[in-house]
């Protein structure tokens, strides 16, 4: 009898657990799973927002168009978007990774806790500003008469040269990278400091007693033990960079040429929302989704085999 009653209570509780989960299940079905399935479905059609006629089925037509070699030369092609995204991602995440790791190690080597905290907070400050504000500030710094030119020219000893920060195709890409790097450096420094703090100090003590130099300690102990954090941070940084939009949007809408910074997200926005080619934009979305999916799976695979126990 008692057992039966107990089971009844368990089942009642189980029902409550299920009820608590229902709102999230509804939300994620409607606003994550349904849209991604819809994006895949729409990518097979020639769907336009303004046309009343039922969209024409294209099969893989939208994808073939995106990857059509004949269009590769066109400056606003999807190939160019892939290139722009790749250049931006590599050009941003590699400096972010290396410098944030370096600075995190330097900060952990400081003796004063106050300085440590002050530096972390200061480096984090740009992350509080919204991307739009960040882009606005840098657009003025990158003005032909602005601070960017004044300092670069003072540094290189070339007075009066305009570097064309927002005009020259190469410099324009560099500018977006600088803005992004500036905004996220503090965030990644803090991630690495947390990772460093989780390495027990006894390991360092043992190494120092054995006569290891600081340099050796870094390459032989810190870096291998930090590998899970490094993998995590690099994948996170890459995923972030693949999704960049605001910086490019701001520079473009203030007159910078579009082709060099026409990253995938920006291309989706222009094609789908401004030009109303929803099918074509959906095909781009699916490509972006697959790229990010592969990266995330790679992260799971590497982190699973790399778990370290101290």
Partner 1 sequence: MQIERKITLPKIGMSLVLLAMLFFTLMPIVFMISASFMTSRQILRMPFSWIPEGFAWENFTKAIQGNDQTYIFVRNISNSLIVSTTVAVTTVLIASLTGYGLAKFRFRGRTTIFMMIMATMMIPFEAIMIPLYMVIMMLRIQNSYVGLILPFLVSAFGVFQMKQYLTTFPTEFIDAARVDGMGEFGIYLRIVLPNCKPVIATLAILSFRSQWDNLLWPLLVSQSDKMKTIPQYISNFALERSTDEGAMMAAALLASIPMFLLFMSLTKYFIGGSAVYESRKG
Q: In the window 237-296, what residues touch partner 1 (CB under 8 A)?
A: 239, 242-243, 245-246, 249-250, 253-255, 264-265, 268-269, 272-273, 278, 281-282, 285-286, 288-289, 292-293, 296
Please identify which residue in 32, 51, 74, 216 interacts with partner 1, judged by CB under 8 A.
Answer: 32
Decide whether 72 or 308 has the Cβ nearer to partner 1. Answer: 308
> Binders of partner 1 among 142-161, rule CB under 8 A?
143, 145-147, 150
CB of 64 to partner 1, least distance (A): 19
Distance between CA atoms of residues 296 and 73, nearest Å: 31
Per CB under 8 A, 55 contacts partner 1: no
> Binders of partner 1 among 71-100, rule CB under 8 A?
99
> Binders of partner 1 among 97-136, rule CB under 8 A?
99, 102-103, 106-107, 109, 119-126, 128-134, 136
Helix, strand, coil % over all residues of the chain, rounded to 5? 75, 0, 20
Q: Which residues of 61-100 are buried (b: 16+ CB within 10 A; e: fewer)?
A: bbbebbbeeeeeeeeebbbbbbbbbebbbebbbeebbeeb
Decide whether 71 or 243 has the Cβ nearer to partner 1. Answer: 243
Per CB under 8 A, 187 contacts partner 1: yes
> Binders of partner 1 among 189-208, rule CB under 8 A?
190-191, 193-195, 198
Residue (of 245, 207, 211, 238) closest to 224 by Cα position: 207
First-to-last C-alpha distance (Å) of the chain? 49
DSSP letter at 269 equals: I
Please identify which residue in 137, 167, 212, 225 interacts with partner 1, judged by CB under 8 A.
Answer: 137
Decide whether 69 or 211 has the Cβ nearer to partner 1. Answer: 211
Decide whether 90 or 128 has the Cβ nearer to partner 1. Answer: 128
Residues with Cβ within 8 Å of 298's Cβ and at least 6 positions away in sequence, in order, are: 235
Retrieve residue 130's tokens.
């919204």
Decide whether 75 or 253 has the Cβ nearer to partner 1. Answer: 253
- The alpha carbon dihedral of 131, 101, 92, 171 has a sign of positive
Residues with Cβ within 8 Å of 137's Cβ and at least 6 positions away in sequence, in order, are: 129
């Amino acid at each position: 009898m008692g057992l039966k009653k107990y089971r009844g209570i368990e089942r009642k509780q189980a029902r409550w657990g299920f009820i608590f989960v229902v709102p999230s299940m509804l939300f994620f079905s409607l606003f994550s799973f349904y849209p991604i399935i819809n994006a895949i479905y729409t990518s097979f059609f020639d769907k336009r927002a303004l046309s009343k006629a039922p969209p024409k089925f294209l099969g893989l037509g939208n994808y073939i168009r995106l990857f059509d070699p004949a269009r590769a030369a066109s400056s606003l092609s999807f190939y160019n978007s892939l290139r722009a995204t790749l250049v931006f991602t590599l050009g941003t995440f590699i400096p972010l990774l290396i410098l944030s790791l370096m600075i995190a190690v330097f900060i952990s080597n400081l003796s004063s806790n106050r300085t440590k905290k002050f530096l972390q907070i200061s480096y984090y400050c740009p992350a509080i500003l919204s991307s739009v504000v960040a882009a606005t500030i840098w657009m003025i710094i990158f003005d032909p008469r602005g601070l960017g030119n004044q300092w670069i020219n003072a540094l290189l000893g070339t007075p009066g040269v305009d570097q064309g920060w927002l005009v020259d195709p190469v410099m324009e890409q560099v500018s977006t990278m600088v803005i992004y790097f500036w905004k996220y450096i503090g965030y990644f420094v803090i991630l690495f400091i947390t990772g460093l703090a989780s390495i027990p100090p006894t390991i360092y003590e043992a190494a120092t007693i054995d006569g290891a130099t600081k340099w050796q300690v870094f390459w032989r102990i810190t870096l291998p033990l930090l590998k899970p954090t490094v993998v995590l941070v690099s994948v996170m940084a890459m995923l972030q960079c693949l999704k960049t939009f605001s910086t490019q949007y701001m520079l473009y809408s203030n007159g910078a040429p579009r082709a060099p910074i026409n990253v995938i997200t920006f291309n989706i926005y222009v094609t789908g929302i401004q030009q109303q080619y929803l099918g074509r934009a959906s095909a781009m979305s699916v490509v972006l989704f697959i790229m990010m999916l592969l990266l995330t799976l790679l992260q799971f695979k590497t982190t699973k085999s790399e778990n370290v126990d101290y």
